[in-house]
Amino acid sequence: MEQRRDRVRDVWRRTLSLSWPIAIQQTFNTLMRTIDVIVTGLFSPAAVAAVGLADLYAQIPLRIGLGLGTGAIALSSQDTGRGAASTRDRAITQALGIGFLVGIPLTLVGVTFAEPLIAVLGAAPGVVETGGRYLGLVFAAAPMRIVGLVGARSLQGTGDTRTPMVVNGTANVINIAATVGLGLGLGPLPELGIVGVGLATAISRTVEAVMITAAIASERTDLSFARPRSLTITRQLVAVSLPNFAEGMSTSLANFPFNALLLTFGTEVTAAYHIGRRIYQQFSGPLYRSYSVAASIVVGQTLGEGRPDDARFSGLAITALSILTLGLAGVVLVAGAVPVARLFTSDPATLEHAVSFTRVFGVSMLFFGVFFPLSGSLRGAGDTRTPFYARLTGTVGFLLGFSYLAGITLGYGLPGVYAGIVLSYAWWALIVAVGFRWGDWADKAATMMAERADVPE
């Protein structure tokens, strides 16, 4: 028993060492979005709804970057563990190149179809115009957004979580300052409103992409750019990335009909949902995202070292730490929902609903504590299908299906929607727990590494 406790403490120490820079990075990431919501909240609830609806589309470059980043971190961590630096460098170079090219069509879409994309959701004309301007600017920076995400994950796979923290933190400080300055017109800066908020995002993402690329090219990091020479690496990168992209998009796409469902209850409810979502992401996002990435790094590197049993133990130990800390975060969200929600809105109706949504997300933190570290562990092994199945079935079956059935068909209203949200997260946790316990993810990782070992240097 004492030996087991020592092993758990060792895993927790390694996890915390890897996690704290990621947590700080994610804190600035979520703070940036929180400031966006606070600033737009000073304009009107309609402005908050406009940014929230535009962010549904803005998740597309995010999902692409996270998908390719998952492939990059899986191969990078595994090859770091087995000491295959040249194969690792080729993999991350391909991931960055693919990401930039895929982002270019999104820029063109943003320039030409931003307002129609908002209008199709059924928003009011004022929301369509405002949201379209914001979305066009965000999509303009899509290639840079994707490169920044992939570059950060590539470095994290080697165990370097500090460089991405510095790069992302710098970019987000620029974003926050520009959002406040350009959005509100402080000092000599023009007051651009929502346009200023979108412009701040575009500028910061460009800075982030340039900095992360320079860091990889420099001698300060273990990674280097290398000329791609193997379709085996390309195939594995795409095979790992696509299910993760589909996983994220299943949630993002579900948000379109889900927001349409919320709009039937009024603009204030829609704004309140986005406020509640922003609150939980600000308070707990840095924790569950850092645990997910740390689990990918630890499990991937341990598998690369040829120790599958230790990889399984590490995944469970990180999950235990996640449950403890996120459970506490959930209690804080439930207890402090009222004063925190007041920071985002003074509109009485919006505030009332924002408090309810915040508490719903607080209750869901226990399930987040299970899902994110276990899904991160699976991704580190190259198994991105199990988390995809979990999100797809949970989102469609509960977030959409149950919410509509209970809220509209059976007439329970918003309480039915609240139940659908909690049940969807519970289902996510259940499916990845089953996949981690009985899945063949360790064998999958061994097969992938054996294939890459045959690639000529």
**177-215 residue pLDDT tens:** 888 888 788 777 777 777 788 888 889 999 999 999 999
> What pLDDT score does 124 carry?
63
pLDDT band at 455 (very low <50, low <70, confident <90, very high): low
d(CA 35, CA 120): 27
d(CA 145, CA 148): 5
**295-336 residue pLDDT tens:** 999 999 999 999 999 999 999 999 999 999 999 999 999 999
pLDDT band at 23 (very low <50, low <70, confident <90, very high): confident
d(CA 121, CA 138): 18
pLDDT band at 122 (very low <50, low <70, confident <90, very high): low
Percent of the chain surpassing pLDDT 70 = 97
**396-426 residue pLDDT tens:** 999 999 999 999 999 899 999 999 999 999 9
Which of 110-119, 120-129, 335-344, 415-424 is predicted most confidently?
415-424
**81-93 residue pLDDT tens:** 888 888 888 888 9
**130-171 residue pLDDT tens:** 777 788 888 889 999 999 999 999 999 998 999 999 999 899
CB atoms within 10 A of CB 54: 27
Q: Please classify residue 272 by burial: count the beta carbons closer than 10 Å to its beta carbon, then call 0-12 exposed, 13-18 middle and 19+ buried.
A: buried
Higher pLDDT, 119 or 300: 300
Of the candidates 39, 33, 31, the residue with the CA atom closest to the CA atom of residue 345: 39
CA angle in degrees (0–180, nearest 5) for 112-247-433: 165
**207-232 residue pLDDT tens:** 999 999 999 999 888 888 888 777 88
What contacts 125, CB < 8 A, 6 or more positions away? none
pLDDT band at 114 (very low <50, low <70, confident <90, very high): confident
d(CA 43, CA 31): 19
d(CA 280, CA 333): 7
pLDDT of 265 > 70? The answer is yes
Q: What is the CA radius of gyration of the chain?
A: 21
Distances (CA, A) of 418 to 92, 112, 184, 223: 40, 36, 34, 45
**33-63 residue pLDDT tens:** 777 777 877 777 777 777 777 777 888 888 8
pLDDT band at 338 (very low <50, low <70, confident <90, very high): very high
pLDDT band at 457 (very low <50, low <70, confident <90, very high): low
What contacts 195, CB < 8 A, 6 or more positions away? 133, 134, 137, 182
Averaged pLDDT, 98-115: 86
Over the chain, what is the mean pLDDT?
A: 88
DSSP labels for 357-397? Answer: HHHHHHHHHHHHHHHHHHHHHHHHTT--HHHHHHHHHHIII
- CB 155 within 8 Å of CB 163: yes
DSSP letter (8 states) at residue 439? -
CA neighbours closer than 13 Å in the CB half-sphere of residue 452: 29
- CB 154 within 8 Å of CB 237: no
- CB 297 within 8 Å of CB 378: no
